[in-house]
Amino acid sequence: MDDDPQIRRVLRTTLIAQGYEVKDARNGEEALDRVRDLKFDLIILDMNMPGMSGLEACRSIRSTSDVAIVMLTVRDGEADKVDALDAGADDYITKPFSFPELLARMRAALRSLPQSPEGGPQSVRFDDVEINFTKRRAILQSGEVRLTPKELDLLQYMIGHPNVPLPHTKLLQAVWGPDYGDEVEYLRVFINQLRKKIEPNPSKPKYLLTEPWVGYRFQMPE
């Protein structure tokens, strides 16, 4: 979804040539209408659109859908990346971009961990938390919590490798793909979101622990 007709036309032509089925929208409101009417595997969403902003549209879409979302923007500041990820985007790309880069980001957003022992357990229970990775839900004493696909993939990988420090690069490549490794802000945003959802006290986490200068560790209760 982009307000620039030339960008939409080029994206549409290029993606169709790559074998994708494409629908486009001129603004956030039209994007929401399309999402309500049709089922999509991935949405490319411009952060800066007239009317409803891309961030607003992203939050609205993410509140009801697990669809993969890649955000486009002309700004490359870390705050903008954090805003996009915090709104529910799976990834972020700055204009101008190359189409090989966009296609790689799309593949990463569509990617999820394999449903196998190497990808981690399919369900787990610890303390008062039960997580069903197949249904993408966490159940706490306070009720059911909905987790996004990338939150689930990250959590599943960490729980599958408990009680050991996991470097930033290893986590990024396991969850987003081999082209990643330096996007530490991605992990910071997603870990913070997970802490808010499953930790009894997010400001003093007991499960999702930071390993200074290294990465993160999932501490499995005994």
Taking residues 117-135, report their average pLDDT: 75
Rounded CA separation 117/115 (Å): 7
- Asked if pLDDT for residue 174 goes beyond 80, the answer is yes
Contacts of 203 (CB under 8 A, 6+ apart): none
Count other C-beta atoms under 10 Å from residue 27's C-beta.
Answer: 19
Residues of the chain within CATH 1.10.10.10 domain(s) are 117-218
Cα of 160 vs its chain's centroid, Å: 19
What is the average pLDDT value for the chain, to the nearest integer?
86
The pLDDT tens digits for 182-203 are 999 999 999 999 999 999 999 9
5-110 CATH: 3.40.50.2300
Taking residues 44-71, report their average pLDDT: 88
Cβ–Cβ < 8 Å for 161, 174? no
Strands 91-94 and 68-73: parallel
The pLDDT tens digits for 151-163 are 988 999 999 899 9
- Asked if pLDDT for residue 73 goes beyond 60, the answer is yes
pLDDT at position 5 is: 73
| Fold entry, domain 117-218 | Arc Repressor Mutant, subunit A (1.10.10)
Short-list 201, 205, 203, CA closest to 217: 205
Residues of the chain within CATH 3.40.50.2300 domain(s) are 5-110
pTM listed for this prediction: 0.82
pLDDT at position 120 is: 52
Rounded CA separation 109/134 (Å): 18
- Asked if pLDDT for residue 114 goes beyond 70, the answer is no
